[in-house]
Amino acid sequence: MNPAELNIFSSRLNAVCEEMGLVLRNSAFSPNIRDRLDFSCAVFDSQGELCAQAAHIPVHLGSMAYAMRDIVAGIDWRAGDQVMLNDPFLGGTHLPDVTVIAPVFCDERLIAFVVNRAHHADIGAASPGSMPISSRLDEEGVVIEPVHLLRDDVFVGDVLDRVTQQTRNRAESRGDFSAQVAANRAGARRLQGLISGYGSAAFVAGIQALNDYAERLARASLAEIPAGRYSFTDFLDDDGQGNRDIPIKVTLIVSGAGIVADFDGTAAQVDGNVNCPLAVAAAAVYYVFRCLMPAQMPACAGAFRPISLSAPGGCLLNARKPAAVAAGNVETSTRVVDVVLGALAEALPERIPAASHGSMNNLAMGSATPGAAWDYYETIGGGMGAGPAGGGLSGVQTHMTNTLNTPVEVLESRFPLRVERYALRGASGGEGRRRGGDGLVREYRFLSAAHFTLLTERRGHAPWGVQDGGAGMVGRNLLNGELLPSKCEGNLAAGDRLRIETPGGGGCGSPLNEKS
């Protein structure tokens, strides 16, 4: 393929992923998927190497790119199959993220896979929202090892029933799984048409050419980083089980051969749920370096060939089963981004921004008693870190998540609560020649008894600035005006008010430095 043909080929692959996302969104039942867009779609080749992805959730997509080869290698695939899984130690991230994989055959030859991953606000944990203050994986919900959900395009026995019967709202849960199946069916049809149009051999050759092109672009981009070793350490506030100030350390080893991210010196896995599998850490590393690459970079495996990582087995970022991981996917992945950016700030001071708010500010909630079952989960934005090119944005999602907020009207019409306040948290961004973005204030008043869980970070360790810029303000969680820990759960009575104040981003440059 010439450059123009390769660009068209890449765009057509991306369009398959985008269409899958539209089908999933429009078919889903839950606000978490339909309104917040907490899902991701991608295409992989027959070996499980990433070919294309939509601009969905970085932590979903990067972890799939890292783990899919091992997942697909162990399964006997037939046309019409769909396999689902969520086991973090067999290719998943955390239990609410359920992955559904479908093979794409052409002339009886396995050519590719279409894949989607969606966050289910109820995956069977004891607490509503399925993001508990856990200490073991089995406390976080139903663990699904890779299993055929469909064979020959027909649902297999009671596989789906065994999962949905452990949820509070079975109809909604089943609807979301059906939406994932529908998205893969749509993607497989569209991809089969694309493969038939090119011919199998030309399609496979096109994937190879795309990966080779992406690798050339990646190596050219990463060559701008001076060779050397760059280290940085940052901390998680706590794990919800009494362990505090948990270090994450990275050393970036930059050479002509590529980049190694070495996490030796990171804390051992902990009792709480901020552990994560290595695939989640890989997603964060891939994301940071992808941000340094040009906009035309194809989202395929070739882009990541020059990058490798290592983490000691049994550490926080390479935890062993049955470690709890619910917050590792959302909070620890975000801190991995911070430490990689912190190390790069030494190598590329004129390109790297300050730390952003550094937490997905996770809130899970639902009915406290059976009979009026409801579950809801959301992440809340904060302040973006300022950088050499400009100040940080306010009230946005950053880095490893890319979800929307659920509209207030949807929340209040679906659930027994009111959003009393939703506003920017003024002056929470770090000072500097360029200020960090401000966080958010989101306050809920509950109309009936409920249960809540908070998994948040940057309540103790502030988002750092760069080039003498100030730190962003730490976040706060309050119940009826009383300060709550960063990770906690409890029961709410009618009339209670839960208020989340999210962190601001770090500033860039000394406030006294008047240079532009």
pLDDT in tens, 302-319: 999 999 999 999 999 999
How far, in Å, CA of 31 to CA of 18, rounded? 19
| β-strand partners of 477 | 500
Q: Is a pLDDT exceeding 80 seen at residue 61?
A: no
User: What's the whole-number average pLDDT of the chain?
Assistant: 95
Average pLDDT over residues 285-302: 94
pLDDT given for residue 446 in this prediction: 97
Task: Provide the H-helix boundaries in 316-431.
Answer: 333-347, 408-414
pLDDT given for residue 6 in this prediction: 95
pLDDT in tens, 8-24: 999 999 999 999 999 99
How far, in Å, CA of 277 to CA of 401, rounded? 17
Burial 11-39 (b: 16+ CB within 10 A, else e): ebbbebbbbbbebbbebbbbbbbbbbbbb
CA angle (143, 144, 147) in 5-degree steps: 165
Q: Is a pLDDT exceeding 50 seen at residue 516?
A: no
pLDDT given for residue 189 in this prediction: 97
Share of the chain above pLDDT 90, in %: 91
pLDDT band for 513, please (50, 70, 90 cuts): low
pLDDT in tens, 182-196: 999 999 999 999 999
Residue 98: what residue type? V
pLDDT in tens, 455-491: 999 999 999 999 999 999 999 999 999 999 999 999 9
Contact between 69 and 282 under an 8 Å Cβ cutoff? The reply is no
Average pLDDT over residues 65-94: 93
Tokens of 491: 């029961």
Contact between 508 and 433 under an 8 Å Cβ cutoff? The reply is yes
Q: Is a pLDDT exceeding 50 seen at residue 96?
A: yes
Q: Is a pLDDT exceeding 80 seen at residue 85?
A: yes
pLDDT in tens, 224-248: 999 999 999 999 999 999 999 999 9
Average pLDDT over residues 365-388: 88
pLDDT given for residue 58 in this prediction: 79
Order of strands, sheet of 258-262, starting from the edge strand that comes earlier in the sequence: 228-238, 244-255, 258-262, 307-310
pLDDT band for 223, please (50, 70, 90 cuts): very high
pLDDT given for residue 116 in this prediction: 96
Residues 6+ apart with CB under 8 A from 354: 385, 386, 387, 392, 430, 432, 436, 463, 464, 465, 466, 469, 472, 505, 506, 507, 508
pLDDT given for residue 55 in this prediction: 75
Average pLDDT over residues 403-428: 95
pLDDT in tens, 202-213: 999 999 999 999
CA distances to 49, 59, 173, 190 from 186, in Å: 21, 24, 20, 6
Q: Which of 76, 138, 130, 137 is nearest to 101 (CA)?
A: 76
Q: Is a pLDDT exceeding 90 seen at residue 264?
A: yes
Q: Is a pLDDT exceeding 70 seen at residue 371?
A: no
Give the predicted TM-score (pTM) of the model: 0.95
pLDDT given for residue 510 in this prediction: 93
Average pLDDT over residues 425-436: 97
pLDDT given for residue 372 in this prediction: 67
Q: Is a pLDDT exceeding 90 seen at residue 511?
A: no
